[in-house]
Structure 1
């Protein structure tokens, strides 16, 4: 494996699939005594999930929304 001029490395498919490194997965590089570890950044995912919690004010009633969904 080689680092490109732009600092990019291709992670082999087998490793991406084994560790769930899908396209657009946020990752972190963690330096340790042996080198650098690449890990998925769960805090980025947690932030995305956190953004979904709570209520969003709507300008329509429940009946109006259900009518839109049902056609």
Structure 2
């Protein structure tokens, strides 16, 4: 992995998925026993939680599946 002139690296997708790192996630680097550890910080909700919060109270017991799917897609 190469470090850019700005000190940036790309976090591999499998590690982002494992840690739940999404765009706008906050992370920190910590040095422990001579190793650098990457941690996702709590704070902003992940994509799934944000989706549930956005939909909360919008669907009704009478909503059809296609109507609920439209809500999840923002349509």
Return the index of the structure with the highest Cα Rg: 1
**Deviating runs (4+, > 4 A) in structure 1?**
none
- Map 1:23-62 to 2 at 5 A: 23-42=23-42, 45=43
Tell me by how many angstroms 1:34 deviates. 3.2
TM-score, reference length from structure 2: 0.53
Gaps of 5+ in 2: 46-75
- Residues 3-58 of structure 1, C-alpha deviation per residue, up to 9 Å, x if partnerless? 1110000011111112101111001111111311010112xx1xx68xxxxxxxxx
Report the count of equivalent residues: 45
Structure with the bigger percentage of helix: 1
